[in-house]
Amino acid sequence: MPPPPARFELPDLALLGTLLIVAVIGSSQMSLMVIDAAAHITAAWLGNAWALFYDQVTGRAVSTLLAFGLAWALGGLVDMPARVFVIVAHVLYFAVPLVFFLVLRAVELQRIFSRLYLAAALVLVFFNSEQIAGMGLWMIWLAVLDHPQRSRQAKAITTIVIAPLLVFTHPAMAITCVVFAVGGFALRVLDRPFPLQLAITSAAMGVLVTAGYFASSAARKGTG
Q: Could you tell me if 131 and 154 are in contact, meaning their C-beta atoms sit under 8 angstroms apart?
A: no
Interhelix angle 113-124/131-146, nearest 10 degrees: 170
The CA-atom distances, in angstroms, between 137 and each of 96, 97, 107, 158, 184 are: 12, 11, 12, 10, 19
| Tens-place pLDDT, residues 197-212 | 899 999 999 999 999 9
| Tens-place pLDDT, residues 15-31 | 999 999 999 999 999 98
| Tens-place pLDDT, residues 131-184 | 899 999 999 999 999 998 899 999 999 999 999 999 999 999 999 999 999 999
Question: What DSSP designation does 184 have?
Answer: H
To the question of pTM greater than 0.75 for the whole model, the response is yes
Q: Which residues contact 146 (CB under 8 A, 6 or more apart)?
A: 108, 109, 113, 195, 198
